[in-house]
Amino acid sequence: MRFKEIAVAYFFGLAASSPVLGAQSASSDGLPGVGSDGFKPDWKTIEADFKEQLAKTKNNQALSKRINTHSATNVGLGQIIYAAGSAAYNHVKSISNWNEAREQFTQLTTQIMIDHNPYPSVAVAAICYNKGYDVRDRRGIYGLTSQELAIWPLKTDYDCFYMGKNNAFWSQGDGGTINARLPGFLLKGFH
């Protein structure tokens, strides 16, 4: 399925997730789940990895300079995104199928971002996307961070960020959850 337009619709400031049809639910928060027939995440280990990576991120001045630093909130959200991507990478790097690794990376990263979002009423969706895209309001994205996925010999990077209410995201590519995962969004697919 091609997603040519992905829009968010929140009324009266209420955020409600809209799961992707056909997704497995492996998460207790009701969002689309992470996992497949060949890969089952170990959430206890992922959580430990996330906490370890977050501690490293907060103590790394060079890394803090690379994160979108328009505000202290952006720095904090960027640190969470970086730690989420690092923890996700640790768990998908052994997957030999490139497309499966990419899909699991985006799903794990965004799930971890949602699970650790300190501002769920402001940053209502988590996005990781590795193709061209546009948003209605660039001021409504938070913590924009580039996350690299490299499993020799292949490599790609994703823009990962939180998106605020009353914003919209338009993909300029295809690939579904291999290229993007957007918990909290109403997905509208156009062929």
Domain total in the chain: 1
**Which two structure tokens, joined as six digits, stand for 117?**
């979002």
Query: Which residue shows structure tokens 């689309």?
Result: 32
- pLDDT given for residue 172 in this prediction: 82
The arrangement of strands across the sheet holding 133-135 comes to: 133-135, 168-171, 5-7, 186-188
Could you give the 3-state DSSP secondary structure of residue 155?
Answer: strand
Separation CA 104–CA 87 (nearest Å): 12
| Radius of gyration, alpha carbons of the chain | 15
The count of C-alpha atoms lying within 13 angstroms of the C-alpha of 141, restricted to the half-sphere facing its C-beta, is 18
Per-residue pLDDT reduced to its tens digit, 128-180: 998 888 889 998 999 898 999 999 899 999 999 999 988 888 888 766 666 66
167 vs 12, 15, 85, 128, CA distance in Å? 14, 12, 23, 16
User: Which domain does 153 fall in, by range?
Assistant: 5-188
Per-residue pLDDT reduced to its tens digit, 91-116: 999 898 999 999 999 999 999 999 99
Range 181-186 average pLDDT: 57
Q: For the whole prediction, is pTM greater than 0.75?
A: no
pLDDT class for 75, splitting at 50, 70, 90?
A: confident
Range 67-78 average pLDDT: 70
The count of C-alpha atoms lying within 13 angstroms of the C-alpha of 105, restricted to the half-sphere facing its C-beta, is 32
Per-residue pLDDT reduced to its tens digit, 14-66: 222 322 323 333 443 444 445 555 778 889 999 999 999 999 887 766 555 55
Burial code of 154-177, b = ≥16 C-beta within 10 A, e = fewer? eebebbbbbbbbebbbebeeebbb
